Amino acid sequence: MKIHLKIWRQKDRQTKGAFKDYTLEDVSKDMSFLEMLDTLNIKLIKSGERPVEFDHDCREGICGQCGVMINGIAHGPLKHTTTCQLHMRSFEDGDTIYVEPFKAAAFPIVRDLKVNRSSLDHIIASGGYVSVDTGQAPEANSIPVTHEQAEAAFDAAACIGCGACVASCKNSSAALFTSAKISQLAQLPQGDKETSKRVVKMVYQMEEEGFGHCSFTEACQVECPEDISVLNIARMNYEYNKARLLKK
Amino acid sequence: MALTGLFLSFFLIIHLAGNLQLLLPADEAQLQYNSYSRLLGGNIFVKLVAYVLYASIILHTIDAIYLGIKSKRANGASYSRDKRGRASKWYARNMMALGIIIFVFLVIHFKDFWYSYKFGELPLDINGNKDLYTLVVVAFQELWYVILYVIAIVALGYHLLHGVFSAHRTLGLYHPLYSKIIKVLGIIFAVVMTFGYILIPVYIYLTHEL
Ligand code: HEM
Ligand code: SF4
Ligand code: FES
């Protein structure tokens, strides 16, 4: 198939960016979106041009590194799919595809389609862990966790930190990302002990990083590759309000 | 935001119940509505609620401005091609625009009825109460005025359609079943309020010939 591309090119944060047009003549329907970009880059390198920079790592939908706006939607037209798991069969021969980086004040642009998402790491570092020295792996049944509890916690733990929720949000809120971690740990006996301390710290850090507030448009869950539930955000609010009201 | 929004929503119920008296047969409605209005004005408890109401409107608006600025700051550069709208409802994304329509309406509404009643000179009815009823009925003889009300109330209806459910989430209702129930109740509430409030000006316009 023939594909027309309009790709955001921007040398660095200081320079102004703009769309640049490219055309690829024989793109296979079975290529992933990133393979299609690889094809473009090979062409660019051969002609002596600077290749298009984009983030990627696992290319199997688990690392959360890939992530761009494709035709104005985070990770492209398929719902609950990462960019690396999107294939060219989702497009038609002759289509024009717009590719832009995620845009948010907390995601400064690095180059082209690459943005710096360290702000998400800072949120996790502020409290998204269990602060005990685990030592040797303990006997698995010494702390009972029901199957349902484990599954519910795992649903929240499935977040891969891609930032599509932020990019899809009209307020650039990181509430879905942050709440997924809070909710995951709050549902397990090891994590729950520190919930109130954790939620206050993580919400504070989320604000520090310059993310917006959540107004429950629910766009984040629709575009989230892992279909992380917005109810986690409500749970984060519950834990936060509780921690604040019961503060000693 | 959630607390003030929910208080305002709660007030809407009482305000609607009171104003439905306007739909009684004319003579009865006039006397009853005017004495009801006077009763409200004199009651210390109602006065307290009224102060909470004024405070809520102001705080809700200040909070809306603050969140609007925060959101703008967090967004950074805008997308050149933006199709994010597919993932959410238009009224959820436009709470601010709907709120501005409501705010403009509230200014007019307060000036025409609240201010006239509290600080203006109104003729008295046969019981000696200020004749708010006639003021309202005369106002709703103007077609453009009725249209203005309908537009504002529809905006309010959409604001509530998202707002009531969103407020519960903000407060922390995360139980899957109960949040579904609240979503449905929120929709019913928004629809009832919208049609209830639209009924008053439209009914008066259609039935009263001066
Ligand atoms: C004075 C004009 C008004 C403005 C400017 C305004 C603005 C807003 C905005 C921008 C939001 C969204 C907050 C967010 O994004 O988190 C909101 C939420 C809300 N508004 Fe209003 N509004 C106004 C009047 C009203 C009125 C009259 C009511 C009810 C009768 C109301 C009820 C609500 C509710 C229930 C919410 C949801 C709160 C939440 O999600 O936490 N608003 N309003
Ligand atoms: S919540 Fe979903 S969209 Fe947001 S970072 Fe995690 S996986 Fe990505
Ligand atoms: S490259 Fe790892 S999720 Fe896409």
Same domain membership, residue A86 and residue A19: yes
At B209, is the pLDDT very low, low, confident or very high (cuts 50, 70, 90)?
low
Which atom belonging to ligand 3 lies closest to the Cα atom of A67?
4
| Tokens encoding A238 | 């519950």
Whether the Cβ atoms of residue B96 and residue B64 lie closer than 8 Å to each other: yes
The mean pLDDT of A101-128, rounded to a whole number, is 97
Q: Kindly list the distances between the CA atom of residue B190 and the CA atoms of A2, A98, A175, in Å, as whole numbers in the listed order.
A: 49, 39, 26
pLDDT of residue A138: 78
Same domain membership, residue A239 and residue A190: yes
Please tell me the distance from the alpha carbon of residue B207 to that of residue B203, in angstroms, as a whole number: 6
B35 Cβ inside 6 Å of ligand 1: no
Instruction: Name residues whose C-beta falls within 8 Å of residue B56's C-beta, 6 or more positions apart in sequence.
Output: B4, B7, B8, B11
Same domain membership, residue A93 and residue A12: yes
> Is A171 within 8 Å of B75 when comparing Cβ atoms?
yes
A69 Cβ inside 6 Å of ligand 2: no
Residues 4-43 of chain B with CB under 8 A from chain A are: none
Measure CA of the first residue to CA of the last residue in chain A; give whole Å: 64
The mean pLDDT of A151-159, rounded to a whole number, is 97
What are the tens digits of pLDDT across the range B29-75?
999 999 999 999 888 999 999 999 999 999 999 999 999 999 999 99
pLDDT of residue B210: 57
Mutation probe of ligand 2 site: the residue of A226, A229, A233, A235 with most atoms within 8 A of C-beta: A226
pLDDT of residue B27: 84
Same domain membership, residue A122 and residue A71: no
Domain extent at residue A232: 117-132+144-245
Q: Is residue A137 part of a domain?
A: no
- Characterize the bridge pairing of strands A109-111 and A114-115: antiparallel
Cβ neighbourhood burial of B63 (10 Å; 0-12, 13-18, 19+): middle
**Span from the CA of B93 to the centroid of ligand 1 (angstroms):** 12
Please tell me the distance from the alpha carbon of residue B184 to that of residue B60, in angstroms, as a whole number: 24
Nearest chain A residue to B72 by CA distance is: A171
Please tell me the distance from the alpha carbon of residue A113 to that of residue A65, in angstroms, as a whole number: 12
Q: Is residue A138 part of a domain?
A: no
Residues of B in contact with A233 (CB under 8 A): 169
pLDDT of residue B41: 85
| B160 pLDDT higher than 80 | yes
What 3-state DSSP class applies to A8? strand
pLDDT of residue B15: 95
Same domain membership, residue A229 and residue A122: yes
Mean pLDDT rounded to a whole number for chain B: 94
Same domain membership, residue A123 and residue A76: no
Please tell me the distance from the alpha carbon of residue A43 to that of residue A12, in angstroms, as a whole number: 22
Name the residue type at position A45: I
Same domain membership, residue A93 and residue A122: no
Cα B201–chain centre separation: 14
Name the residue type at position A119: S
User: Does the model's ipTM exceed the 0.95 cut?
Assistant: no
What are the tens digits of pLDDT across the range A202-216?
999 999 999 999 999
What are the tens digits of pLDDT across the range A84-105?
999 999 999 999 999 999 999 9
For chain B, the helix, strand and coil percentages under 3-state DSSP, each to the nearest 5: 80, 0, 15
> Is B71 within 8 Å of A212 when comparing Cβ atoms?
yes
Q: Is residue A139 part of a domain?
A: no
| Tokens encoding A30 | 């079975």
Please tell me the distance from the alpha carbon of residue A77 to that of residue B169, in angstroms, as a whole number: 28
Residues 104-163 of chain B with CB under 8 A from chain A are: 162
Mutate to test the interface with B, among A68, A70, A73 (most CBs of B within 10 A): A73
Same domain membership, residue A123 and residue A48: no
Same domain membership, residue A51 and residue A162: no
What are the tens digits of pLDDT across the range A130-141?
987 767 877 878
| Percent of residues, chain A, with pLDDT higher than 90 | 93
Mean pLDDT rounded to a whole number for chain A: 96
What 3-state DSSP class applies to B196? helix
A165 Cβ inside 6 Å of ligand 2: yes
